[in-house]
Amino acid sequence: MASVTAVRGMNDIAGEQSYWFDQLELQARALLASYGYQHVRLPVVEKTELFCRSIGEVTDIVEKEMYTFADRNGDSLTLRPEGTAGCVRAAIENSWLNMGAQKLYYMGPMFRHERPQKGRYRQFYQLGVETYGFAGPDIDAELILMTARLWKQLGIQARLLINSLGSAESRATYKEALTNYFAAHYELLDEDSQKRLYRNPLRILDSKNPALADCIAGAPKLIDWLDEASQQSFNRLLALLDASGIAYEVSPTLVRGLDYYNDTVFEWVTDALGSQGTICAGGRYDGLVTQLGGKATPAIGFAMGMERVVALMQLTERTQPSSVDAYVIAAGDEAQLKVQPLVETWRDQSPQLRFMVHHGGGNFKSQFKKADKSGARFALVLGDDEVAKQQIGIKFLREESEQLTLAWTEVTAWLQSALVTE
């Protein structure tokens, strides 16, 4: 019978990739906790209206990428394409905004019906950070410092692109100038951009079509239209980054693919992953809380594409360390009866030691083969003779060294010191 396959663009994450995913999650959790950020778990499904009202009707996501379906009662629901909208919804609904300023983060799957390719999937994982109640730009700098520290800890490199979108008002005047410019170059635009010209011309700046690059490079720059307050805030942010020794590149065409941003926007990019080079992106969205029915609250956040960060980690030729310290084998009736309770006593003594107990019996030779394959450094060998003497044999699997015999009571202390001298 033909087997059922996974949905295109939705991946199983296992083996080495899963190991590095876990490392990323563990390090990120510890780092975020050290800056005082709290973990939130939010629904994967929200009402469709939430995304239309926040991300913007004339965006790639809302126009063509959402997984939208009718619930059994007829409500239109959508698998979340990003995390910010749901987080703002939760903050309003649970009155988090009345409990003082908030620093939050989440990790989990997002869904977009895009063309699957390397670094671009239909189910992908984001680590998102959102803050509420901080007007910036000092918090803007903190988010950037935090991500820079994570790259350093993970041993990866990325460049920081930064821009200011200004206030909603200054953007409205800029939009006019931009529309006039692109209208004058109408024949150079692709079909998507022509459609967007009068509805959302900023989206054209975000186009990934290389044929438009020159035309976009010649367009009026948002940064020249900033009002006094936005200009000052942007300069201050750059000064804060300078003071912390963070290198950046001001990128005038960086506008981001969602409508809710204002003032600070930034992306961390790399050339090592081909065209899917943005590993983390974010910005300020001071208007979104009121737009979704909450009280006026300044906000800024970012989202990191975890597959892309893991791919960068894997490019640095790291090898997954062994997940087993000692593989325990037993042959003989008495030995097989005793081996599991014995290892349990060692687990009581030293919970951090990683034992893998052989299952399924077999002779010593076949068990040794499994021990070798497990990647463990040591095989612990229990026969009926050893049981009688309350001893166990220790065989070195990765180095030339004589086998030795230890009393059961000595095993955990011996393993601990042997593993330190790696």
> Quick check: 24 and 227 in contact, CB under 8 A?
no
Give exposure, 304-313, as e/b (b: 16+ Cβ within 10 Å): bbbbbbbbbb
**DSSP H helical ranges for 191-274:** 191-196, 202-205, 213-217, 228-243
Interface with ligand ATP, residue 307, by CB under 6 A: yes
Does position 109 interact with ligand ATP (CB under 6 A)? The reply is: no
Nearer of residues 112 and 284 to ligand ATP, judged by Cβ: 112
| Binding flag, residue 308, ligand ATP (CB under 6 A) | yes
Strands 159-164 and 249-250: parallel
Kindly state whether residue 160 participates in binding ligand ATP, applying the rule CB under 6 A.
no
Q: Does 358 help bind ligand ATP (rule: CB under 6 A)?
A: no
Q: What is the Cα–Cα distance from 405 to 394, expressed in whole angstroms?
A: 6
The answer to whether residue 120 forms part of the interface with ligand ATP (CB under 6 A) is yes
The least distance separating ligand ATP from the CB of residue 247, rounded to whole angstroms, comes to 19
Distance CA 242, CA 244 (A): 5
Residue closer to ligand ATP by CB (options 79, 280) is 280
CA distance 237 to 243: 10
Give one word for 361, left, alpha or beta, with left for phi > 0 and alpha for psi -120 to 50: left
Single out the residue of 257, 332, 375, 383 in contact with ligand ATP (rule: CB under 6 A): 257
- Is 130 a binder of ligand ATP (CB under 6 A)? no
Coil, helix or strand at residue 150: helix
Q: Is 269 in the site for ligand ATP (CB under 6 A)?
A: no
Based on the shown chain and the rule CB under 6 A, indicate whether residue 286 belongs to the binding site for ligand ATP: no
Indicate which single residue of 53, 80, 89, 112 sits in contact with ligand ATP (rule: CB under 6 A): 112
Closest CA to 299 of 63, 127, 149, 128: 128
Of the two residues 223 and 280, which places its CB atom closer to ligand ATP in the complex? 280
Bridge partner residues of 76 (DSSP): 70
Does position 114 bind ligand ATP by CB under 6 A?
yes
Binding residue (CB under 6 A) for ligand ATP from 305, 358, 374, 412: 305
> Which among 69-77, 120-128, 325-333, 338-346 is the span making contact with ligand ATP, rule CB under 6 A?
120-128
User: Which of the ranges 100-108, 188-196, 275-283, 347-355 carries the binding residues for ligand ATP, by CB under 6 A?
Assistant: 275-283
Dihedral (CA of 97, 102, 105, 110) sign: positive
Q: Please, what's the largest Cα pairwise distance for the chain?
A: 93
- The count of chain residues that interact with ligand ATP, using the rule CB under 6 A, is 18
State the residues that interact with ligand ATP by CB under 6 A: 82, 112, 114, 119-121, 124, 126, 257, 276, 278-281, 303, 305, 307-308
